[in-house]
Amino acid sequence: MSSRPAAGGGRWVEVDPDRVARWVAGFADRHGPPTVSAPGYGLLLSAPDGATAELHTPPGTPVAADLETFVREVGTPRRIALLLARKGAVAMGVADGAQLSVHKVDTRYVQGRTAAGGWSQQRFARRRDNQAKAALADAADLAVRLLLPAADRLDALVAGGDRRAVDTVLADRRLAPLAALRADRLLDVPEPRYAVLVAAVAAARAVRVLVREPRPGTSG
């Protein structure tokens, strides 16, 4: 389970699907038995002392109107595709539950930035742009071969890395069936490698929880 500060207050916690029931029980122990409501993103737990927890439904998981159904649905293995892209590196695969059934990592050289000025700088910039475009075109071809055949059996596509790079890959018309399955969640990942792809599976399946502690003087 990971935790990080949230913009506007509170903290984001990522909970493994199999630990959600235990996490909710701990929340209730700390703050009192919560009431449960079902906004569009998932479930909202509101504790008697003013603490709240927003449980966001993972990609590819049906929405639930109550806690018991939510726990059951997030714990059910889903088939998701992952597409991670940054500069000249791309990693993609299909995960059945927590396991990658197919995967591929590809890295192409993309010219780094240069400190030179004038025509030399412009020439390097053009070369770098051309290399990046070629790398993303290759990534689209790879997605056609690796991910597209599974499109009709996927629950969701989860992307990560650089949004512009991912958008460029999925703009390929051949990948329209995959783009239609794309989840809103964009994973923040370093340069794609196999280990990064494996970690991305866990991040994509995790239940993201926004926890806000009670304000002073609000507890009963």
Which domains are seen in the chain, by residue range? Answer: 2-76+206-212 (no CATH), 79-204 (3.30.420.60)
The one-letter amino acid code at 58 reads P
pTM here? 0.85
Sheet with 89-96, side-by-side order of all strands: 99-107, 89-96, 79-86, 156-161, 182-187
pLDDT class of 189 with cuts at 50, 70, 90: very high
Instruction: Tell me the mean pLDDT in the region 5-26.
Output: 94
| SS3 label, residue 106 | strand
pLDDT tens for each residue of 41-96: 999 999 999 999 999 999 999 999 999 999 999 999 999 999 999 877 899 999 99
Comparing 64 with 109, the larger pLDDT belongs to 64
Query: What pLDDT was estimated at residue 108?
Result: 66
* pLDDT value at 211 more than 60: yes
Asked if pLDDT for residue 219 goes beyond 90, the answer is no
- Cβ proximity of 205 and 58 under 8 Å: yes
Average pLDDT, the chain: 89
C-alpha dihedral, 70 to 38 to 205 to 149, nearest 10°: 100
Report which of residues 137 and 210 the model is more confident about.
Answer: 210
Q: In whole angstroms, what is the distance from residue 181 CA to residue 34 CA?
A: 33
**Would you say residue 19 has pLDDT above 90?**
yes
Q: How far apart are CA 218 and CA 143, in angstroms?
A: 51
pLDDT number for residue 33: 97
Per-residue pLDDT at 162 exceeds 90: yes
Single out the residue of 111, 63, 103 nearest to residue 87, CA to CA: 111
Question: CA-to-CA distance for 125 and 137, rounded, in angstroms?
Answer: 18
E-strand ranges in 19-122 read 35-37, 42-46, 52-56, 79-86, 89-96, 99-107
Check whether 109 has a pLDDT greater than 70.
no
pLDDT at 131 over 60: no
The conformation of residue 33, written as its DSSP 8-state character, comes to P
Cβ atoms 45, 207 nearer than 8 A: no
